[in-house]
Structure 1
Amino acid sequence: MEKSIPHIEFDSLKPDNSGIEILTIESIAIRKTEIDHSPEKAHQLAFNMIVFYTAGESRQLVDFVWHEVKRNTIIHLSKGQINAFQFNEGLQGYVILFTEDYLKKQINTLPKNELIRLFNAHLFSPIIQASQDSNVLNYIELFHKEYSNIEEGYNQENTYNALYSIIFSKLERLKQYQTFHLKRSDKLNSFLDFKSHLETHFNTSRNADFYAEKLNITYKHLNSICKDMVSVTAKQFIDAFVILEAKRLLINSEIKSTELAYSLGFEEPTNFVKYFKKHTGFTPNTFKKDYI
């Protein structure tokens, strides 16, 4: 039995790939028995991914949560997130894969809000439902056509970059209708600062007062920010963050739950087991066995 779920690297068959690729969902489904891992079983991404469903109905796993998908559903995932497909009959669409390096090269051409909305896994839902008259698909189809044209090599990378920027802008426009509160930049900036401190210190403290002090604000103010941004208290957000980190570590390494407990800042392994079971309903070992 495997001791961890697959960690999937970006591996394009196209020579001189600049870090971006587009595939069809159908091609992945057909090849699912030929590749080293099953795309229908949980795996961790070492790249970013956008999935656009054009036909059929199914589900897609994102960080241990199954999301219903149908025509015009868009799923976006960041590097490090857990993913799995469910290939029902008649399912069609496109999958755009791009590396962290490619994203960094494009940052200067993308508005800041686009990156926040589309690639902030702890802040927003990974799912967008585009309207029937959305023209995002037109550009994705054009991208796929350009990428599949093996005879056209001259200036092709610039074409990819231009289409990528257009697709991102189109997705950001769709996402902004679900995230009006981003305009309240004072609270958004404070929340992002809070998340940044949490990413650095989550194995030091799970106490909301600790992070309020880091931000030079009161516990009440931090709670207000979290409720406004993500509709939970600061403590609930901290716990959800720690549990997600624990899940990712549990299923992607050979680390024992006792070692994991200490690495997450728990003084006693039994306290971590109780904490994990309280928030998930499973012991760490049971959870790991179920996903592997």
Structure 2
Amino acid sequence: MTKNLPHLLFESQKPNNIGIEILTIESLFERKDDQEHNPEKAHQVAFNMIVFYTEGISKHLVDFVWHPVKKNTIIHISKGQVNAFQFNDKLKGFIVLFTEDYLKKQLNSLPKNEIDRLFNAQLFSPIMQVPRTSNVAEYIQLFYEEYRDTEEDYNQESTYNALYSIIFSKLERLKQYQTFHLKHSDKLNTFLNFKALLETNYKQSRNADFYAEKLNITYKHLNTISKNIISLTAKQFIDAFLVLEAKRLLMNSEIKSTELAYLLGFEEPTNFVKYFKKHTGFTPNQFKKEYI
């Protein structure tokens, strides 16, 4: 039987956990051989993560792309993304994990721009370099110390929430300087609506005209908006979305290429194999062998 890509759930050793946790990269490295899954192997997460590298040089896998990391690199991983570490004995840092439910509870205290910038994998790169002048590391260290304090539990939830808001507000501020400044506009709203429609209808259509019609705009207008927001045409965005969905499904089930083709809306399995190979360089079976 072919193995699936591990799907990791949020599990905390701390009693009455409210959905957020922090640990060190060193501690994960030390106990990697004792865990059911080796974090150096590709796995999908059912929670959100922020990995802050404070020392060392390595690389980090996010959705099948390896990103170089060094001191003061932050990697943001959203729920559902594929992730893997590459450890060495010089790596140090922190890993903040939080559930989707915890995030939803904090939405009212986080600016809307922050949500788009930090939790929208299609809009921004998962990697960010923190300037030496930033004090983000100090707040993350403080959060770690508060979390590790088992003697003082009075009002801890409020303390965690406050530090969470500070850390994420600071990260959003850094993100806006390292990417184009994402302003809320009719164009952005239209693109986010396009993305939402695609998530619901990708099995039905891979045609950009289909989504333009549902949005009551022309194909040309949708294309202009897509290129303006993410520097991809609407069709390129649809293809990138579908290929990533195919990769995740290949990694997480015993499904055969023929079944996957029909599931993704292809009438002929051979067309899906050609489509997948065109965009990845692999057949579906070759890709699965490469990553398992």
Relative to the length of structure 2, the TM-score reads 0.98
1:63 maps to which residue?
63
Provide, for residues 112-166 of structure 1, a one-character-per-residue CA deviation record: whole Å limited to 9, x for no partner: 1111100101111011111011110110000000000111111111100100010
2:233 counterpart residue number? 233
Letter in 2 for 1:127: I
Match of 1:9 in 2: 9
CA distance in 2, matches of 1:82, 1:283: 19
* Counterpart for residue 189 of structure 1: 189
Equivalent residue for 2:220?
Answer: 220
Residue matched to 1:110: 110
SS of alignment partner, residue 32 of structure 2: coil
Q: In the TM superposition, what is the alpha-carbon distance from 1:88 to its structure 2 partner?
A: 2.0
Please state whether the residue corresponding to 2:33 is helix, strand or coil: coil
Pairing of 1:156-167 with structure 2 (within 5 A): 156-167=156-167
For 2:170, the equivalent position in structure 1 comes to 170
What count of residue pairs does the alignment treat as equivalent? Answer: 292
Give 1:183 shift: 1.5
Q: Deviations over 1:148-192 (max 9, x none)?
A: 011111111110010001001000001111343412512111110
Q: Deviation at 1:20?
A: 0.4
CA contact (8 A) 2:113 2:183 kept: no
1:84 corresponds in structure 2 to 84
Cα distance in structure 2, aligned partners of 1:16 and 1:144: 17
2:261 aligned with 1:246: no
Bigger mean CA deviation after superposition, 243-252 or 176-185: 176-185
Q: Percent identity?
A: 75
**SS state at 1:139 partner:** helix
Amino acid across the alignment from 1:197: L
1: CA distance, partners of 2:142 / 2:244: 36
Q: CA 1:118/1:288 → structure 2, altered by over 3 Å: closer, same or farther? A: same
Q: Secondary structure at the match of 2:198?
A: helix
Query: What corresponds to 2:30 in structure 1?
Result: 30
Are 1:141 and 2:127 counterparts?
no
Unaligned ranges ≥5, structure 2: none
Maintained 8 Å contact 1:47/1:79 = yes
**Structure 1 position 213, deviation (Å):** 0.7
Deviations 1:5-33 (A, max 9, x none): 11000011011111100000000000000
User: Structure 1 CA distance, aligned partners of 2:181 and 2:32?
Assistant: 40
- Which structure 1 residue ranges, 5 or more long, are not aligned? none
Contact 2:41–2:85 (Cα < 8 Å) also in 1: yes
What is the SS of the residue equivalent to 2:76? strand
Q: CA RMSD in A?
A: 1.0
Which residue of structure 1 lines up, in the alignment, with residue 151 of structure 2? 151
* TM-score, normalised with respect to structure 1: 0.98
CA distance in 1, matches of 2:30, 2:84: 15
Q: Give the C-alpha shift of residue 89 in structure 1.
A: 2.7
Q: Give 1:98 deviation, angstroms.
A: 0.4
